[in-house]
Structure 1
Amino acid sequence: MRKEEVRLDVKDVPKWNQWIILSLQHLFAMFGATILVPILTGLSPAVALVSSGLGTIAYLIITKGQIPAYLGSSFAFIMPVISAMAIGGPEGVMIGTFTAGIVYGVAALLIKGSGVQWLMNLLPPVVVGPVIMVIGLGLAGTAIEMAMNFDAESGQYINPMLHFSVALATLAITIIASVYFKGFFNLIPILFGVVGGYIIASFAGLVNFSEVSAAPWFHVPNFVIPFVTFSPSWSWSIVILMAPIALVTLAEHIGDTMVLSKVTGRNFLKKPGLHRTIMGDGVATIVASLIGGPPNTTYGENVGVVAITRVFSVFVIGGAAVFAIFFGFVGKVEALIASIPGAVMGGVSILLYGIIASSGMRMMIDNQIDFGIKRNLIIPSVILVTGIGGAFINLGEGVEITGMALATFLGIILNLILPGKEYGYGNGAMFASMKDKMDQENKKDTA
């Protein structure tokens, strides 16, 4: 990449007025998705903003200020967090989130010591693709229940046509923004959909502004802090439910890091190293678990902003993190988020969950997985049916392996024991070439 194509390089410090604008741009890019996860799972959006900012700062420190990546709430954990909330409430979720962060840390240490081949052997596209599909399709019922205003207490839909109309209008706005908007605005279709749907819902009488008016400007979020607000209680059911999902997000993280390397013209897999980027994700997730936030991961939305603006400065990313922390303490922002009707979130979720599922399908298509080979037909089939169908294994004493975790385990086991493992990478061999490239870099570093 030619130097003149870069507006601000990684270590460049922008002028203060540029700094504010460029950092706010990243804040807007991540805002909709970052607050959507806690809204859908019952966690605090304000805490999610704070944990996102703190996690990003921790990531920048661990990667030695060399990678302009922003971290926000991970969509892969939505279904496990919802299940964990039902088992142990927010406190239980924090135990699961902490163990997911530990999985990241262990993976980082293993990659530093022995390369990345073991991870790629566990997670070829024929396993990761269907698991990602389970993440999206497993939440389809939740999206429709929100869109049509299902009341869990009565077991009935209340005024479903009005709510579904608002949901469809929200969905239409989100699709229009995603397809027809250009430049930076094309990166935040979820935010456009939520804002547009909120306006429509307010005219339909579905929004209650009283709590927004009553909320203070300054507000300390409802942090969930171990040994301060609660006494941690270990739950193997929650650990088994959430920890394995870190393996799936590891594959997504590697993809984001490679894309960011290409955009900036650097090799982040070599310097500061994949082990540092994964450790950064892990520490950010552990930070979230210590204050009540959802698991964090690098955000493709912000990678897109970096690519469009050609602003690679980590100071801009750090500024966005500071803004996120600040907004987490603005009480009216939290109250405004809490006032968003379920129909609006349901309309956005119809598209969002479908895109997640489609991303899993696309991974297999891009890698040219040959479904004429029986193992490549068997593995996704088992993952999809067990993951979406709600299968579970009761290990006794309240410990269960359910849904996505069980599907992930079964997919990994089948991939390891069935003959012809090389076919799991497909003819496109995106993961295979990724594995070879990173192993070559690790050999150079240890030589």
Structure 2
Amino acid sequence: MASKPILDIHDKPSATQLVTLSFQHLFAMFGSTILVPQLVGLDPAIALLTSGIATIIFLLITQFKVPAYLGSSFAFIAPIITVAGLDASGVAVNPGNAMIGAMLVGIVYAIVALLIKTTGYKWLMALLPPIVVAPVIIVIGLGLAGTAVDMAMNITVDGVKEYSGLHFSAALVTLFAAIIFNVYFKNILSAMPILLGLIVGYVYAMGIGIVDFTAVKEASWFEMPNFLIPGVDYEFSITATIVAAMIPVVIVTISEHIGHQLVLGKVVERNYIKDPGLHRSLLGDGLGTFVSALIGGPPKTTYGENIGVLAITRVYSVYVIFGAAIVAIVISFFGKVMAVISTIPTAVLGGISILLFGIIASSGLRMFVDSQVDFGNNRNMVIASVILVIGIGGAKLEIGSFVMSGMALAAVVGVLLNLILPGRDKGVTDVHDLD
């Protein structure tokens, strides 16, 4: 029998509880949410702001029944870098391209949500079985492995990358701190290893003198996030490259969304696939992503870190999640706080990325195990092998101005192979029982 919740879904906490518990959720998601924009050259302040806005949108769409927090999605890191590009200092060259792509992703979510509402969900599970999704998840993690190691080991001097043992030591301290918090600590500390690892790595980086505080001194206490408005800050133009790079990632993020809804449902003892319905939660995720991109934020996804906090604390109140969203919005306007975040050395980000990207890849392996995928079956072996080699090898398909490569191409090929090759199961092929 599950433990009785301290605060159930619609229980209202006291003012003190609300503040304390809301900050707890903020800390859980903070490290991951600000890490994504740091890696793709976007503004952490706008990512934090839009995480709060997207969460509120999600709560509204799901009728305040689902206590989920939406943060920056790691699945879109490589596609954003592809369409936006990075300059020598790590700033996105064409961030508008990433915003356009994210808006299109939000629209795809809405279309899928409409189809689910009218036709049910089993067709989606048959289209995205573990044999397709798991290797694509592995590709996402391993495809970013080189980026993480490069950030951890190298610095740029006069436009040339050089190995730096000093910086690599900061990466290792960050990495091992995050591992220690994740493995050896219990309760709430184990739910936020990314944030705590970043803090330990940052303190160490200050100690060895590789943190530049110039930006903090120059920043005002109150500053507006760097909004990116279509038609004002960039020309809204949908290209084949943007579509090819961003849309296929939906194959993974929708599967991730379903998984989170199932896990969250088990934690709070509710069936969110039926009430408020998968179509509502998916629409909330998509609309949150669309609005986020409309003002310059990265794509959003429900966060496993915050689900972990719910499980540990047994506080399921949507008022607490709403409070965390408000706190995130408010903090995004504190210039000094955002300036401190901007001073985090690349090596520290690289150290935490080694763990994060490895966990992403390992979660794909775990899906194989949990789903009991039979690799004695040649069909499964072929699909997984082709996806892994195309994705990790960086294969590219060019037809005129249309370019699809790496993870996106691997995902599409995986779906097609699953549909074409004989032996596909006719029923729901996901490891989870949605009924």
Compute the TM-score of the two structures, normalised by the length of structure 2.
0.96
Structural mapping, 1:21-420, within 5 Å: 21-86=20-85, 89-151=94-156, 154-158=159-163, 160-397=164-401, 399-420=402-423
Distance in 2 of aligned mates of 1:405 and 1:423: 25
Describe the SS at the equivalent of 1:340.
Answer: coil
**Higher mean C-alpha deviation, range 11-20 or range 275-284:** 11-20
Distance in 1 of aligned mates of 2:214 and 2:245: 38
Tell me the residue number matched to 2:90: none
Measured after TM superposition, the shift of residue 422 of structure 1 is: 2.3
**Aligned residues of 1:126 and 1:424 also touching (Cα < 8 A):** no
Q: Which amino acid aligns with 2:228?
A: V
Measured after TM superposition, the shift of residue 311 of structure 1 is: 1.1
Describe the SS at the equivalent of 1:393.
Answer: strand
CA displacement 1:199-233 (0-9 Å, x = unmatched): 11111111001211221110001111112322312
**Aligned residues of 2:126 and 2:425 also touching (Cα < 8 A):** no
Structure 1 gaps of 5+ residues are 438-447
Describe the SS at the equivalent of 2:404.
Answer: strand
Describe the SS at the equivalent of 2:29.
Answer: helix
**Aligned residues of 1:100 and 1:244 also touching (Cα < 8 A):** no
Measured after TM superposition, the shift of residue 313 of structure 1 is: 0.9
Tell me the residue number matched to 1:11: 10
Compute the TM-score of the two structures, normalised by the length of structure 1.
0.93
**Aligned residues of 1:369 and 1:423 also touching (Cα < 8 A):** no
Distance in 2 of aligned mates of 1:151 and 1:117: 50
Measured after TM superposition, the shift of residue 247 of structure 1 is: 2.1
**Aligned residues of 2:110 and 2:286 also touching (Cα < 8 A):** yes
Measured after TM superposition, the shift of residue 156 of structure 1 is: 2.8
Distance in 2 of aligned mates of 1:170 and 1:303: 24
In the alignment of these two chains, the number of paired residues is 429
Measured after TM superposition, the shift of residue 7 of structure 1 is: 1.4
**Aligned residues of 1:33 and 1:73 also touching (Cα < 8 A):** yes
Tell me the residue number matched to 1:445: none
Q: Which amino acid aligns with 2:209?
A: G
**Aligned residues of 2:126 and 2:428 also touching (Cα < 8 A):** no
**Aligned residues of 2:122 and 2:427 also touching (Cα < 8 A):** no
Measured after TM superposition, the shift of residue 391 of structure 1 is: 0.7
Describe the SS at the equivalent of 1:401.
Answer: strand
Measured after TM superposition, the shift of residue 166 of structure 1 is: 1.2
Q: Which amino acid aligns with 1:418?
A: L
Describe the SS at the equivalent of 2:301.
Answer: strand
Measured after TM superposition, the shift of residue 425 of structure 1 is: 7.7
Tell me the residue number matched to 1:442: none
The structure 1 segments of at least 4 consecutive aligned residues displaced by more than 3 Å after TM superposition are 152-155, 423-426
Q: Which amino acid aligns with 2:71?
A: G
Measured after TM superposition, the shift of residue 424 of structure 1 is: 11
Distance in 2 of aligned mates of 1:50 and 1:152: 33
**Aligned residues of 1:143 and 1:346 also touching (Cα < 8 A):** yes
Structure 2 gaps of 5+ residues are 87-92
The percent identity for this pair of structures is 55
Distance in 1 of aligned mates of 2:162 and 2:415: 39
Describe the SS at the equivalent of 2:94.
Answer: helix
Structure number having the greater helix percentage: 1
**Higher mean C-alpha deviation, range 229-238 or range 387-396:** 229-238
CA displacement 1:103-128 (0-9 Å, x = unmatched): 11011001001111221121100000
Task: Say what the alpha-carbon RMSD is for the aligned residues.
Answer: 1.7
